[in-house]
Structure 1
Amino acid sequence: MLWYDGRIVEGPVPFDLADRGLLLGDGMFDTALALDGRIVFEAAHVARLVAAAETLGFLVDARVIIEAMRAVAGAAPRAAVRTTVTRGAGPRGIAPPAEPRPLVFASAAAANPGFAYASLRLQVSTIARNETSPASRTKTLGYLDAVLAAHAARAEGFDEALFLNTRGRVACAGTGNVFAVIDRQLVTPPVEEGVLAGIVRALLLEQAPSLGLPVQERALSLDELRQAQAVFVTNSLRLLSPVAAIGDRSWPDDEDVTTARCRELIARAVAAAQA
């Protein structure tokens, strides 16, 4: 299902070949989970897209984003909703147009229920995450590093890539935030390490301490991550995925107690968001 230019459309749509999202990756996107026609954590997803546009130097109407998301949310009982925003068309060259006319479109497809909470095996990517770039903290359309890293990881029998930043410290997984359980505390890299401020990540940072689960945002070395009691990845579709292995370091199949409490917290928050 596709929402484009203010309406649901079937089949191919006209697309301006001068659009900067197509030519330069000048735009951003968001992926959200929809359950029974409702976007989970809708306000947070909308706010992140609006903030990302501001980071890129243009404005997008939150009402248009909401309309687009809601229009496709009922594509399936459990749906993955992708909302894309570009700066719109512009003249030749890289300089942004003086008066951007953003383009918003959204699509949705059925999401596999087994995707949520399933474990992952990670391979450390040879591609570094550039923490000096604002793009590392924004879900921009330039996703080639993640595409190449995912391809390399799967070619080696892993599920997903793990990115280190240019300083050799842990940044994130290819499609999610990384948490380590160290001495019964949650540790996750701060956004300054080249990390997208994920929606589920924010939920854990806000609510885990109220359950007696201390959370630290700090730099994390690969050795420290590999020595953690448990590791998991969060994103809006997987919600929480325990990490079964990072390279040749593996963890037991039995779920870590702290990880289980985080999973339960997220499940309750999803249910509450739909109530």
Structure 2
Amino acid sequence: MNKMLYNQTIMDRSRLIDIEDRGYQFGDGVYEVIGVYDGDFFLLDDHLRRLKRSAEAIQMMLPCPIDTLKDNLKQLVTMNQLKEGVVYLQISRGVAERWHQYPSNVSPVLVAYTKVEETMKEEAKNGAKAIITEDIRWLRCDIKTLNLLPNVMAKQKAVENNAVEAILHREGIITEASASNVFIVKDNCVMTHPANHFILNGITRMKILELCYETGIPVRECAFTIDDLRMADEVFISATKLDIVPIVFVNDHKIGTGDPGEITREIINCFAAAIQDLSER
């Protein structure tokens, strides 16, 4: 049985969740999902910076310094001998009597565990289908909180339509997807929604933008519409451990030629090289 990290202590899964944990009752907390490739974290510092930012945005203290948390997460991966997968890390505000306002004198509760998980290799190679649905989430999507029911509902709709993802829109403007960021390619230029309060600034998203700048692929962070998405030459999504998946059908509409495009392929190869560089250090 895998070990899990609970408030900086390695414990097994028999640990119980208090009924008055605010994460359980209010979704009052933040989380991260961090990719592990060949036993090493990928972009760990970026994930922890975002975790700290999310906690500050909801006025919540972290249970320990970032460096301590980083060391403990590495210990967790080593103890569980994780080679390929993710670490799920969650911090709630803590246990307190059930009142809506923030309690005083409460200690945050941290839980982390490892999970074996491989990338979507077949979909990355051949492309996949997505659907479009309305973005009904709140207006602080830039905070990675535990409040994910609208995302869950959108993902369920995708599954029921034999799709890998649900692409979200607000009044016709594409924001992101239920659990990933969305990119389109038009006339060799990569476009994705700006990193404002309407989307989560994905760690993989940021790496893709960095790779585009490094390789000279034109890129724009700008709003685009459902029609822009449908008329795009290429579409792809990105997320931690999902990596990059070309979208070749949206609903029943074929994107471009119906096959993963050249720009998407180039970005996939650059991303794979960045992961390979990590394992060779």
Per the TM superposition, whether the score is higher than 0.5 is yes
Does structure 2 conserve the Cα–Cα contact (< 8 Å) formed by 1:65 and 1:83? no
Aligned to 2:94: 88
Aligned to 1:125: 133
Aligned to 1:245: 249
> How many residues get paired?
271
Does structure 2 conserve the Cα–Cα contact (< 8 Å) formed by 1:129 and 1:171? no
How far off is 1:216 after superposition? 0.5
Aligned: 1:103 with 2:105: no
The counterpart of 2:22, out of the listed 20, 23, 30, is 20
Does structure 1 conserve the Cα–Cα contact (< 8 Å) formed by 2:119 and 2:242? no
Q: Partners of 1:36 and 1:157 in 2: how far apart?
A: 31
Q: Deviations over 1:205-243 (max 9, x none)?
A: 223122111111111101001100000001111110000
How far off is 1:273 after superposition? 2.9
Matched residue of 2:196: which SS?
A: helix
Q: Partners of 2:72 and 2:61 in 1: how far apart?
A: 16
Counterpart amino acid of 2:131?
Q
Does structure 2 conserve the Cα–Cα contact (< 8 Å) formed by 1:3 and 1:71? no
Does structure 2 conserve the Cα–Cα contact (< 8 Å) formed by 1:68 and 1:106? no
Does structure 1 conserve the Cα–Cα contact (< 8 Å) formed by 2:248 and 2:260? no
How far off is 1:264 after superposition? 1.5
**How large is the RMSD of aligned CA atoms in angstroms?**
1.9
Q: Deviations over 1:151-186 (max 9, x none)?
A: 122112222111112x33101111110010011011
Aligned to 1:37: 39
Does structure 2 conserve the Cα–Cα contact (< 8 Å) formed by 1:153 and 1:160? yes
Q: Partners of 1:92 and 1:128 in 2: how far apart?
A: 27
Q: Deviations over 1:108-139 (max 9, x none)?
A: 11112445835331111245344xx22x1122
The counterpart of 1:211, out of the listed 199, 204, 215, is 215
How far off is 1:7 after superposition? 2.5
Question: TM-score normalized by structure 2?
Answer: 0.90
Q: Partners of 2:219 and 2:161 in 1: how far apart?
A: 33
How far off is 1:59 after superposition? 2.4
Counterpart amino acid of 1:49?
L
The share of aligned pairs that are identical, in percent, is: 24
Aligned to 2:176: 172
Mark the runs of 5 or more structure 2 residues left unpaired by the alignment: none
Does structure 1 conserve the Cα–Cα contact (< 8 Å) formed by 2:6 and 2:111? yes
Question: TM-score normalized by structure 1?
Answer: 0.91
Change (3 A) 1:206 1:113: closer
- In the TM superposition, what are the counterparts of 1:1-275 in structure 2 within 5 Å? 1=2, 2-60=4-62, 61-74=65-78, 75=80, 76-115=82-121, 117=124, 119-130=127-138, 133-134=139-140, 136-165=141-170, 167-192=171-196, 194-251=198-255, 252-274=257-279, 275=281
Does structure 2 conserve the Cα–Cα contact (< 8 Å) formed by 1:168 and 1:221? yes
How far off is 1:50 after superposition? 0.8
Change (3 A) 1:210 1:35: closer
Counterpart amino acid of 1:189?
H
Larger deviation, residues 169-178 vs 66-75: 66-75
Does structure 2 conserve the Cα–Cα contact (< 8 Å) formed by 1:193 and 1:219? no
Q: Partners of 2:220 and 2:135 in 1: how far apart?
A: 26
Counterpart amino acid of 2:87?
V
Q: Partners of 2:120 and 2:219 in 1: how far apart?
A: 28
